[in-house]
Structure formats: C-alpha cells, structure tokens
Structure 1
Amino acid sequence: MAIKKELKGAADAVEDASNSRVFVVAARTGFTVSGILHVLIGIIAIQLAFGKAREADQGGAMGELAAQPAGHILLWMGAAACAALGLWQLSEVVFGYRNLKKKTMLQKKLSAAGQGLVFLVLAVAFASFAAGQGKDSGETTSDSSIQIMKAPFGPQLLIAVGVVVAVVGIVFAVRGMLASFTKQLDMPASKTLRMVVTILGVVGYVAKGIALFLVGLLFIVTTMQASPEESTGLDGALKAVREQPYGLYLLTLVGAGLICYGFYQIAKSKFVRM
C-alpha cells in the first residue's frame, strides 16, 4: 500500500507538472517553432522551383536558422520548445482523454504518441545543429534506406514505410479539406481572424498532405527500382516535382502551401486546446 501511494503521488506530481503554466507555454512555443520551420521549407521550395540549388527539407531550414545572427541560440531555443511539446504530447498519452469512449481515446492517445515522438526527434535535430553536428537530412534518409534495404525483408519494410507515410499524407489532405483540424482549436472571437486561421489550415494541411504523399511514393518507387540511395525524403520528393511538366508551378504551389501550414502552426500555438 505504501508503494502504491508513493507511485500515485509521483504520477500526480508528473501530471501537475505537465499542466503547469510554464510547461504549457513552452509546449505551445513548440508549435511556433514547427511553424517557422515549415515557412522556411516553403520559401526554400519556391526558390528551388526557380532554379536555386537548395535543400528543401528540415535540415535545410535548420541550416538557414544556424546561419542567422545568434542562430545557435535560436536552435537551442527550438530544441527546448520541441522537447517540451514532445513531452507534453506523451503526457497526454498517460493522463489525457480519460472521459472519451475507449475507441476514441485509443485513437487520440496513438495520435499524441506519434506527435510526441515527432517533436522529440525534432528537438534532437535542433540540438544537433546547435552543437554543430547537424547532418544533411536527405543524405541521412538515403543512408538509412540503403542499410534497411540490405537487411532481411528490408525492401518490404521500406515499402511499408512508404505506404504509411503516403497514408498519413492522405489523412492530412482529407483533414484539411474537411477543416476537421478546427476541432482542436479554441477559435478566436473575430470572424475575420477565424476565417484566416481556417484558410491557412485548409491550404496548409492539403499542401503538407501532398508533400508527405510524395515522400511515401518516393520510398515505394525507389525501393521497387532497387535504388534506395535516391530516397532522400522531402528534399528528393520536391525536386522530383520540379522535374515534372509544369513542375515550376506545381512546386511553387506546394511551397506556398507549406508556408500557409507554417503560419497555421504559429496560429495554433495561440489557439490550440492544451
């Protein structure tokens, strides 16, 4: 009984900490950081569309931040904010959604777990760049794909990864078209501001969905062609778009959409329910 009480006390302390104002503010800042990254990726994608050689992915965006005055401070702040948001999402897996039906609760907890891991990985990437050890995201993805390809059932695993990423992309696009993301928000009182947030979300989610779908498709195609070295994540997917007919216009639209998603994430930091 004593051990049980101590465990309950520890759990209550963790729950209180996860709901503390300072922690929640830090976690909200994680959405802002994610938004800034997406804005930078969108800008790089548009520059890429017009022929400027850039790395249009997370690594490229972090490289842009690192090149700014006090860039390393910005990167460490980004790492801290993303770590806070990742831990908050994981705390929701344990303490959140208790009043929902079991099926809905499970879906919410799985989603929170996935987002938590994404933001923790993002925090590690920020810290790596801040410490001067950041790596080219495309090369890292390519190297990982090559190693997986060599493993038993490696090709099947890569195709499965591609399918999962593509499906997530479809989910993003559908969520955008249905504007179901607004259920997560306490929308502002201003009708004009509500419309702006909704439009940014709709366009942003659809663009993000298209980008993820293309990344998943690239995994599948390069695996089937036994060319895992060409699977370079978002950067490779966007560069593949540039090579298509009307690629300049398509990539510009995707880049503009990612910028919208970035501004939506920044707005989300203010209006999301936490």
Structure 2
Amino acid sequence: MALLHILIGFIALRLVLGGYGDADTGGALSPLAASAAGPFLMWGGCTACASLALWQLGEATVRVRRKSVGQRWSKAVSSGSLVLIYGSVALTFASFARGRGRDSGDSVASFSTVVLASPAGMPALVAVGLLILGIGVYFIYKGARRKFRAELRHFAGTRRGQVIDLLGLTGHIAKGISLILAGGLFILAAIHNSPGESTGLDGSLKRLLETPAGPPVVAVIAVGLIFYGIFAVVRSRYGRM
C-alpha cells in the first residue's frame, strides 16, 4: 500500500508536468504487472492486502470490545473503512495477477452503473460517495490533529520525529482530500444519473487539472501522497497499531 501511494503520487506529478498516465491503483500496477516478476508481485500484493483487510476486520469486531463505547464506534468506523479499502485493492491485485487488469476509472464507472441499476439506485450510490467522503474527512482530521503520533511513539521528541510528523500531517491531509474528490464524483454521478462521471482518483485529478488553480493543487496532493507512502513505510517498521 505504501508503494502504491508513492507511485500514484509520482504519476500525478507527471500529469501536472504535462505527461500521461493514470493516477490510480490501476495506473500504478500496470507497469509492475507487465514486468517479468509481475504475477509474483501481483499475487504477493493481493495476499498482503487481503491479510490487512482480515486484520482490520478483527480490529473492528473483536478487539473493539475492549474499548469504551465511544471508542468502539470510532474504531469500528475507522477499521471498517480500512477493510473496504484493503479488500478492494486486494481484488485489483488479483485482477492484474490473472491478466484481467483494467483501467481503475472504467472499473469505478462499471461499479456505479451496477449500483444505479439496482433497486436502491441513486440513494445507494450517494451513500457510497458519502462513505468515501467521510473517510476522507477522517484522514484530514487525523492528520490535522496529529492523531497518528500514537502509532509512532518511538520517535517522540527526536529530530526524526519532527520529520515523520511533517510526513504524517501532509500525507494524511493529502490522502483525505483525494478521497473527498473521489467520493464527490460518486455523488455527482448519482445526482446526474451518469455513472461515467465517477472515474475515481485519476478522473477527479484530471478534472481538477482543467481548472485555473488545478495544477498547483494537484501538485500539492501528489507530493502529499508520496509523503503518506513514506510515512506508511516508517509506520510499518516502527508503528504501534
């Protein structure tokens, strides 16, 4: 997951500079899947993300019982959201491993089409958008309030801790903004009954690039995603979850 954020961030920077690419999971995985070690990397990524999803499921259902009522709800929502995120990425890895990987924007649009065609229709797709938007707000809150510090107490009061603090602050806020943008497209697709409008992170960034203030904003988000990826690497090594 950390590597994915770094790769997506660099692809987004390339878009700002006039390059090409898809700043999403599919765009980041495509060159890796095409390499000689592609199948091994894809199945390895699938296994890792599926394991993370199961672990977060345990956090949201079993370990949450040890906390107070208020903490239970907070942990259930945060860990439950990560179950969905890690699970969807695991499925994407599996798709590329089987040689069926495709553009993430197309996958998101297809998902929106299925949801809109279901009995729940527009309310269901709006709910999906609001859920993603809510996760984005949570990431911004976690970053702005530096709630991630508890995960890296090992570096508290050190110079390296200050650097990690900057990575965590910028990274969480950038990730939150990217999720809000993606969630907003789901809501617009539902309101306009146009599933093609929900094109995920890549589509939201490219639409943002078309606005006058778009390039610098996308550049900041891109750097923030790279920072989040680096922070995630440090957390995986030293973090207390």
Matched, 1:183 2:150: yes
- Aligned with 2:23 (options 34, 53, 56): 56
Correspondence list, 1:248-267, <5 A: 248-267=215-234
Q: 1:94 offset after TM fit, Å?
A: 4.2
Distance 1:106 1:164 in 2: 15
2:53–2:86 Cα contact (<8 Å) kept: yes
Counterpart residue type for residue 217 of structure 2: L
Distance 1:110 1:156, change over 3 A: closer
Q: Which runs of 5+ in 2 are unaligned?
A: none
Greater CA radius of gyration, 1 or 2? 1
1:80 matched residue in structure 2? 47
Distance 1:168 1:196 in 2: 25
- Aligned with 1:163 (options 130, 155, 159): 130
Distance 2:88 2:235 in 1: 20
Q: 1:158 offset after TM fit, Å?
A: 1.6
2:74 matched residue in structure 1? 107
1:10 matched residue in structure 2? none
- Aligned with 1:220 (options 187, 198, 201): 187
- Aligned with 1:89 (options 45, 51, 56): 56
> Deviations for 1:106-163, whole angstroms, at most 9, x for unmatched residues?
4323422332342233222212212212122110111121222233341222222222
Matched, 1:231 2:202: no
Counterpart residue type for residue 255 of structure 1: A
Counterpart residue type for residue 153 of structure 2: D
Counterpart residue type for residue 75 of structure 1: M
Distance 1:175 1:149, change over 3 A: same
Distance 2:49 2:192 in 1: 36
Distance 2:52 2:230 in 1: 18
Q: 1:95 offset after TM fit, Å?
A: 3.6
Distance 1:266 1:131 in 2: 27
What TM-score, normalized by structure 1, do the two folds share? 0.81
Matched, 1:121 2:99: no
Distance 2:82 2:130 in 1: 18
Q: 1:191 offset after TM fit, Å?
A: 0.8
What TM-score, normalized by structure 2, do the two folds share? 0.91
1:5 matched residue in structure 2? none
2:121 matched residue in structure 1? 154
1:138 matched residue in structure 2? 105
2:8–2:225 Cα contact (<8 Å) kept: yes
Report how many residues are paired. Answer: 241
Distance 1:132 1:54 in 2: 19
Aligned sequence identity (%): 39
Q: 1:97 offset after TM fit, Å?
A: 4.0
Counterpart residue type for residue 35 of structure 1: A
Counterpart residue type for residue 211 of structure 1: S
Q: Which runs of 5+ in 1 are unaligned?
A: 1-33
Matched, 1:246 2:213: yes
Distance 1:99 1:222 in 2: 40
Distance 2:131 2:55 in 1: 24
